[in-house]
């Protein structure tokens, strides 16, 4: 996957909803006093972890051995159940939980600003200008404020129904209480109803009652500052400024219109790190802006990404997406639900795949491309860079870390909504639609080729070495000094077998013109016996499985008749090697034999001519003398008509033959690939254009 700004952060994205401003600025009023920053309050209660007196458990087992963990003690005993562990990734999950709470306020339309600050001592502050956590007495726990209940009680919060939040990343009521439990100090300030309230905690326990700090004007919302507990995470585990910045920036991309103001102490930015100490991030285009940034400088199949947003029917939620098809480089698929990243995918990703697949198949059927019916979901999305963000009421995730969305019906909502928009996008730009379809079909062909190669590999493994029956192999086992002749037809193959050096020369007869791999489907390639035999004989695989180091011969020699048909067969074979075994050409293993077309003899003198021009030159040069009789000129009908002795002398004997090595200069590879596609590819109009442009240069037409 590509190393991009908001993927691989451990957390990120929102979209669709009221405009949001995220900030990350230091404030003059510090939530922690000097004493609080130095050490946790002495009134904090620490969970003891005494070592057992004996390594053997007691044989006594009674009711007194049954422990009941209360409050936040389960979190401190088993942090992995809540944040996935106690390593660096789990540490950053604490920040994600605090940031998600602020994001939920923004997505609900109650906050327009979020500020994030990372201090030198590792304290993180998240501040929003939302409604503020309620501070009045809780009706069930009359001796405590709602703020204290939320921070000290698992499964306490306002997101279990849609009365307060229509959509939210927090679902279980454990996020901020887990942050509190795993912090050695935490301070929270709430500006609500023009009054400021403050309370501090240590390892999940309040260090004092909630304080009324008096009236406050022009301020509202919640501020949470926390310092992770080294007893849980160790002294060496610290927040990374780069990671926090990327997580905050991801939220800005997810929720369009967000402004993020980020700040951290410059001393926390390591050498070579481009993370800014202060930054203002604003992406009014949402995911479309992100995609433009992620694929900047890369050539794509379409001028613009397929991007958009829409609401699901009724009050089911909303979706935003951006998909691009780069022609090279790494790809990625990242999904989010209610701004929470889902790295393991889920039902929303399944809907995206289904929508793209169905729309591409429908477009292929519309334009009469029968090969489109074989496209799978992986073919449609596998070559793309894609980001999808959905907002759902009461989503269901797999586990507390929410790595996978398992909401039933989300796939149908996403598929129906996105397919309709993708259908319109395809029909609006025919050229872009055909380019995307061609990429999907190419991936489908490659998928079938890999499957074919794996089947060949399995067969080879079970049969030790499976070679075509018509291959006349050489005796020498080492590839050095050996060569294989690819000859046209059984007749030529018979002559070549008689003319060869059995120790170093192998012969593989091919039946007529092979398949044109530049225009054939993967299914036809797989079914073609001649190409299968050739691949098995060479032993180095094709496509993605091509490994030139496994080539069984030092030289691969194409030996066809010296006429138009022979040249066509040679062109088809070179196209096969250029498409399926390019490294074989790069390594200098591919050659063309130069068999003669004419035999010229006079008396005891015999010479061979490769073409008409060479024949005329030899007549003028070699047979000048008069009175030695008529020069007999015979044209070979094919290699099969040539006696084995003559074939050996003219074409196969290393001492007397001529070989042409096939090469593609590095600077000419792109032009060569384009020319092969024009002349051998699936679009006949390109061949027609080439003929029109070059017909005037033809001097002698051989048909």
Q: Between these two residues, 44 and 216, which has the higher pLDDT value?
A: 216
Q: Which residue has the tokens 């209940």?
A: 149
Residue 589 within a domain: yes
Q: How many angstroms separate the CA atoms of 34 and 177, rounded?
A: 24
Question: Domain check: are 591 and 605 in the same one?
Answer: no
Q: How many angstroms separate the CA atoms of 456 and 611, rounded?
A: 41
At 700, the pLDDT band (50, 70, 90 cuts) reads low
Ranges 186-200, 454-468, 619-633: which has the least confidence: 454-468
Question: Domain check: are 490 and 365 in the same one?
Answer: no
Number of helices (H) and strands (E), helices first, in the chain? 22, 22
Q: What is the DSSP string of 179-204?
A: HHHTEEEEEEEEEETTEEEEEEEETT
Q: Which of 563, 586, 611, 653 is catalytic?
A: 563
Q: What is the CATH number of the domain that holds 383?
A: 3.30.230.10
Q: How many angstroms separate the CA atoms of 252 and 281, rounded?
A: 7
Q: How many angstroms separate the CA atoms of 641 and 396, rounded?
A: 75
Residues 523 and 374: beta-carbon distance below 8 Å: yes
Q: Tell me, yes or no, if 700 is annotated catalytic.
A: no
Ranges 156-170, 441-455, 525-539: which has the least confidence: 156-170
Q: Tell me, yes or no, if 60 is annotated catalytic.
A: no
Pull the structure tokens for residue 226.
């926390």
Question: Domain check: are 300 and 340 in the same one?
Answer: yes
Question: Domain check: are 404 and 272 in the same one?
Answer: no
Q: How many domains does the chain have?
A: 5
Question: Domain check: are 377 and 483 in the same one?
Answer: no
Residue 28 within a domain: no
pLDDT tens-digit profile of 362-386? 999 999 998 888 899 889 888 899 9
Question: Domain check: are 106 and 243 in the same one?
Answer: yes
At 50, the pLDDT band (50, 70, 90 cuts) reads very low
Q: Tell me, yes or no, if 143 is annotated catalytic.
A: no
Domain that holds residue 77: 73-282
Q: How many angstroms separate the CA atoms of 520 and 391, rounded?
A: 44
Q: Tell me, yes or no, if 478 is annotated catalytic.
A: no
Question: Domain check: are 240 and 205 in the same one?
Answer: yes
pLDDT of amino acid 174: 61
Highest mean pLDDT among 324-338, 412-426, 466-480, 560-574 belongs to 412-426
Q: How many angstroms separate the CA atoms of 281 and 302, rounded?
A: 27
Question: Domain check: are 431 and 529 in the same one?
Answer: no
Q: In angstroms, how far is CA 485 from the centroid of its own chain?
A: 40
Rounded to whole angstroms, the maximal C-alpha distance in the chain is 131
Inform me whether the pLDDT recorded for 665 exceeds 90: no
pLDDT tens-digit profile of 173-211? 367 889 999 999 999 999 998 899 999 999 999 999 999
Burial class (CB in 10 A: 0-12, 13-18, 19+), 368: exposed
Residue 211 within a domain: yes
Residue 61 within a domain: no
Residue 564 within a domain: yes
Which residue stretches of 112-254 are H helix? 146-152, 175-181, 230-233, 241-254
Q: How many angstroms separate the CA atoms of 241 and 262, rounded?
A: 10
Question: Domain check: are 534 and 586 in the same one?
Answer: yes
Pull the structure tokens for residue 598.
């004419």
Compute the average pLDDT of residues 256-283: 85
At 470, the pLDDT band (50, 70, 90 cuts) reads confident
Q: Which of 231, 565, 641, 677 is catalytic?
A: 565
Inform me whether the pLDDT recorded for 566 exceeds 70: yes
Compute the average pLDDT of residues 320-348: 90
Residues 327 and 384: beta-carbon distance below 8 Å: no
Inform me whether the pLDDT recorded for 679 exceeds 50: yes
Inform me whether the pLDDT recorded for 31 exceeds 80: no
Q: What is the DSSP string of 70-102?
A: -TTHHHHH-THHHHS-SSHHHHHHHHHHHHHHH
Q: State phi, psi for 348 to the nearest 5 degrees.
A: -70, -35
Share of the chain above pLDDT 70, in %: 85
Residues 668, 672, 674, 680: what is their CA dihedral angle, to the nearest 10 degrees?
A: 180
Q: What is the CATH number of the domain that holds 530?
A: 3.40.50.670
Q: Between these two residues, 155 and 38, which has the higher pLDDT value?
A: 155
Q: How many angstroms separate the CA atoms of 628 and 220, rounded?
A: 115
pLDDT of amino acid 703: 54
Question: Domain check: are 432 and 511 in the same one?
Answer: no
| Closest C-alpha to 183, from 248, 265, 123 | 123
At 38, the pLDDT band (50, 70, 90 cuts) reads very low
| Closest C-alpha to 21, from 256, 193, 291 | 256
Pull the structure tokens for residue 46.
């620490």
At 109, the pLDDT band (50, 70, 90 cuts) reads confident
Give the residue from 445, 479, 504 where a domain finishes.
Answer: 445
Q: What is the CATH number of the domain that holds 251?
A: 3.30.565.10
pLDDT of amino acid 14: 40
Give the residue from 282, 307, 326 where a domain finishes.
Answer: 282
pLDDT of amino acid 15: 39
The per-residue pLDDT of the chain, averaged, comes to 82
Give the residue from 250, 282, 314 where a domain finishes.
Answer: 282
Which stretches does DSSP call E strand in 193-349? 195-202, 205-206, 211-215, 221-228, 259-264, 278-282, 306-311, 317-324, 332-337, 340-341
| Closest C-alpha to 158, from 148, 93, 168 | 168
Q: In angstroms, how far is CA 257 from the centroid of its own chain?
A: 28
Q: Three-state SS string across 619-679, please?
A: HHHHCCCCCCCCCEEEECCCHHHCCHHHHHHHHHCCCCCCEEECCCCHHHHHHHHHHHHHH
Compute the average pLDDT of residues 570-583: 90
At 172, the pLDDT band (50, 70, 90 cuts) reads very low
At 466, the pLDDT band (50, 70, 90 cuts) reads low
Residue 48 within a domain: no
Q: Which residue has the tokens 């939920």?
A: 104
Question: Domain check: are 119 and 268 in the same one?
Answer: yes
Residue 394's region, left for phi above 0, alpha for psi from -120 to 50, else beta, is left
Residue 33 within a domain: no
Residue 464 within a domain: no
pLDDT of amino acid 1: 39
Compute the average pLDDT of residues 626-640: 80
Q: Which residue has the tokens 């930054």?
A: 279
pLDDT of amino acid 8: 40
Q: How many angstroms separate the CA atoms of 551 and 556, rounded?
A: 9
Inform me whether the pLDDT recorded for 340 exceeds 90: no
At 57, the pLDDT band (50, 70, 90 cuts) reads low
Q: Kindly give, in sequence order, each residue whose CB lies less than 8 Å from that of residue 160, ignoring residues fewer than 6 positions away.
A: 171, 173
Inform me whether the pLDDT recorded for 9 exceeds 60: no
Question: Domain check: are 136 and 180 in the same one?
Answer: yes
Q: In angstroms, how far is CA 639 from the centroid of its own chain?
A: 50
Which stretches does DSSP call E strand in 64-123? 114-118
Q: Which of 488, 530, 533, 580 is catalytic?
A: 488
């Amino acid at each position: 996957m590509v190393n991009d700004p908001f993927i691989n952060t451990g957390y990120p994205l929102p979209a669709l909803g009221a405009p949001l401003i995220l900030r990350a600025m230091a404030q003059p009023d510090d939530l922690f006093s000097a004493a609080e920053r130095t050490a946790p309050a002495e009134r904090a209660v620490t969970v003891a972890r005494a070592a057992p007196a004996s390594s053997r458990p007691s044989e006594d087992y009674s009711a007194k051995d049954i422990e009941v963990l209360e409050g936040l003690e389960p979190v401190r005993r088993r942090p992995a159940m809540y944040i996935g562990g106690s390593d660096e990734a789990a540490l950053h999950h604490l920040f994600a939980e605090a940031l998600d709470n602020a994001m939920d306020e923004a997505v609900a339309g109650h906050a327009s600003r979020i500020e994030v600050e990372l201090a030198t001592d590792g304290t993180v502050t998240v501040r929003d200008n939302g409604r503020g956590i309620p501070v009045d007495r809780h009706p069930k726990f009359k001796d405590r404020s709602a703020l204290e209940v939320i921070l000290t009680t698992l499964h306490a919060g306002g997101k279990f129904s849609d009365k307060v939040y229509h959509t939210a990343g927090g679902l279980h009521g454990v996020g901020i209480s887990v942050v509190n439990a795993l912090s050695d100090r935490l301070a929270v300030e709430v500006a609500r109803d023009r009054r400021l309230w403050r309370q501090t905690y240590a390892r999940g326990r309040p260090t004092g009652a909630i304080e009324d700090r008096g009236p406050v004007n022009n301020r509202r919302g919640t501020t949470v500052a926390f310092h992770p507990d080294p007893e849980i995470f160790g002294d060496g585990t610290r927040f990374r400024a780069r990671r926090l910045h990327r997580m905050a920036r991801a939220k800005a991309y997810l929720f369009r219109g967000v402004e993020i103001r980020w700040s951290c102490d410059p001393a926390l930015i390591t050498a070579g790190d481009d993370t800014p100490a202060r930054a203002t991030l604003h992406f009014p285009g949402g995911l479309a802006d992100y995609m433009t940034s992620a694929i900047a400088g890369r050539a794509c199949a379409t001028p613009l990404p397929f991007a958009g947003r829409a609401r699901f029917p009724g009050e089911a939620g909303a979706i935003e997406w951006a998909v691009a098809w780069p022609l090279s480089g790494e790809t990625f698929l990242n999904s989010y639900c209610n701004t929470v990243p889902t790295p393991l995918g889920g039902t929303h990703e399944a809907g995206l795949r289904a929508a793209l697949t169905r729309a591409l198949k429908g477009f292929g059927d519309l334009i009469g491309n029968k090969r489109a019916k074989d496209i799978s979901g992986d073919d449609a999305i596998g070559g793309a860079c894609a980001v999808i963000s959905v907002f759902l009421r009461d989503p269901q995730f797999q586990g507390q870390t929410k790595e996978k969305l398992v909401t039933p019906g989300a796939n149908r909502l996403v598929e129906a909504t996105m397919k309709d928009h993708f259908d319109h996008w395809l029909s609006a730009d025919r050229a872009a639609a055909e380019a995307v379809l061609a990429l999907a079909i190419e991936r489908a062909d490659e998928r079938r080729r890999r499957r074919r190669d794996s089947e060949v590999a399995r067969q080879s493994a079970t049969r030790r070495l499976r070679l075509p029956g018509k291959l006349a192999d050489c005796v020498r086992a080492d590839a050095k000094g050996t060569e294989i002749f690819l000859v046209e037809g059984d007749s030529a193959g018979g002559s070549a077998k008689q003319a060869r050096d059995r120790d170093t020369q192998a012969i593989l007869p091919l039946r007529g013109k092979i398949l044109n791999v530049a225009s054939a489907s993967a299914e036809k390639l797989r079914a073609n016996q001649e190409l299968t035999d050739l691949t098995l004989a060479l032993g180095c695989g094709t496509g993605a499985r091509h490994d030139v180091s496994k080539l069984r011969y030092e030289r691969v020699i194409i030996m066809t008749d010296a006429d138009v048909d022979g040249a066509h067969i040679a062109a088809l074979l070179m196209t096969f090697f250029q498409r399926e075994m390019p490294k074989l050409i790069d390594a200098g293993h591919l050659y063309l034999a130069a068999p003669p077309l004419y035999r010229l003899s006079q008396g005891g003198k015999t010479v061979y001519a490769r073409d008409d021009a060479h024949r005329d030159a030899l007549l003028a040069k070699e047979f000048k003398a008069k009175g030695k009789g008529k020069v007999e000129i015979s044209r070979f009908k094919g290699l099969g008509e040539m006696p084995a002795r003559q074939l050996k002398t003219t074409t196969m004997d290393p001492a007397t033959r001529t070989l042409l090595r096939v090469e593609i200069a590095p600077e000419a590879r792109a032009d060569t690939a384009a020319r092969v596609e024009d002349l051998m590819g699936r679009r006949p109009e390109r061949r027609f254009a080439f003929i029109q442009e070059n017909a005037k240069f033809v001097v002698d037409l051989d048909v």
